[in-house]
Amino acid sequence: MNKSQTEPVETLIIGGGIGGLAAAYAMARTGRAVHVVEQAPEFTEIGAGLQMGPNASAALDHLGLYDKVVSRAVLPRAGVMRDAITGGTITTLDLGPAFQSRFGYPYFVVHRNDVLEVLLDACRQSPLVTLLTDMQVVGLDRADHGHEVTFKNGRRIHAQLVIGADGLWSLVRGLVSDDKPVFSEYVAFRGTVPTSAVSDDMSLDDVVLWVGPGVHLMQYPVRGGQVYNQVAVIRRPDPSLDTPMSPSALNDAFAAACPAVRRCIPLIDSTKEWPLYDRDPIARWTTDGVALIGDAAHPMLQYLGQGACQALEDAISLARHLATETTLSNALTAYESDRIPRASRCQRSARPWGELWHSADPLTLALRDRVLGQRRPDDFSELDWLYAPSERTTA
């Protein structure tokens, strides 16, 4: 087709990350034709590790992709929260058989690109999914019976339904809300190393979280235990993010940490920082012929480990309602009703949980450690709202 012509499609997903590809595949399984456009030259994910709760496992099982993803993952024995300064254990969450029995599926950790590759392969095998790269959106305009999307390469597509899966800085979100991302005053540094490079005193069977005043370090193995993923987060209140931090800032932030933590920090690339943003929950994710999913709809801080999990839930919900409701308007309304309360709770819960990790207040720390220290490893009651089986991902 000549680039000057406008190509008509039924459904256009803008953004080819985990949420966008999951939505495409979920819709294709209901018989809906979908085009996915990605601005990058290839489909890929930024970052390394993902924590996937039982709700994500259920979503992947609904898509028929659970076994393929888990074959590339690690099922940790436990989640352990430790004090980054003293090295002591604050609390432990048993992730073994009792956890799996209660929630129906395991908690696992996996490399982001391993999840993306499974979704991408599934989409490529579907005759109803068209995948396009090098498609940077430069215009998004209302048109008769849909929207016309213009791309930097000159191509134009008219879509009856446009789905914004374009992340935190979503262009599509601008059709629904004029809000802006909120900087958390924290930045992340990420890195992976061969597991053989990890010191002998580090657990390779657990997800380990070290927390301290203004810092935390998350660690866990991925890719069948061959690679060790680390994410170090430090406070950066200076809003001038255009100015890089000092190369020593990461080491300096963990200077008071215990030896086990200090040995790990040099293994992380300190030259590339990732500012951590979220947005306030909004009351609408849709408008005429437009819907948001994933970080475009509900960007959240990482403290619950639910960003990708909620995107998978979005994908299944939207596909289900598009297939069962009698009109597009009804489908989008039902999707919002299904998803907004739950994802918004995740957004709101993540912020204070992160503040609790990073607190320097002696009273807060004493109460935190006392309360968490008294809970049993098999006390899962606080997780029921997040992980308990639901028709969202099993219907």
Active-site annotation, residues: 220
- The single residue listed with the structure tokens 């993803």 is 69
Q: Is 393 left (phi over 0), alpha (psi -120 to 50) or beta?
A: alpha
Q: Is 64 left (phi over 0), alpha (psi -120 to 50) or beta?
A: left
* Neighbour-count burial of 145, counting CB atoms closer than 10 A to its CB (0-12 exposed, 13-18 middle, 19+ buried): exposed
CB atoms within 10 A of CB 202: 15
User: What span, in angstroms and rounded, lies between the C-alpha atoms of 130 and 294?
Assistant: 20
User: What span, in angstroms and rounded, lies between the C-alpha atoms of 294 and 313?
Assistant: 9
**Could you give phi then psi for residue 208, rounded to 5 degrees?**
-115, 125
Question: In the chain, helix, strand, coil percent, each to 5?
Answer: 40, 25, 35
- The single residue listed with the structure tokens 């819960």 is 349
Q: What contacts 276, CB < 8 A, 6 or more positions away? A: 183, 184, 186, 187, 188, 233, 301, 302
**Could you give phi then psi for residue 92, rounded to 5 degrees?**
-130, 140
Q: How many CA atoms lie within 13 A of 323 on its CB side?
A: 17
Sign of CA dihedral 303, 95, 105, 60: positive
User: What span, in angstroms and rounded, lies between the C-alpha atoms of 52 and 48?
Assistant: 13
**Could you give phi then psi for residue 91, rounded to 5 degrees?**
-160, 160
Strands (E), the chain: 6-14, 34-37, 49-52, 78-83, 89-94, 108-111, 129-132, 137-143, 146-151, 156-164, 182-194, 206-212, 215-222, 227-235, 274-278, 286-287, 290-292
User: What span, in angstroms and rounded, lies between the C-alpha atoms of 148 and 145?
Assistant: 10
Structure tokens at 316: 């299944």
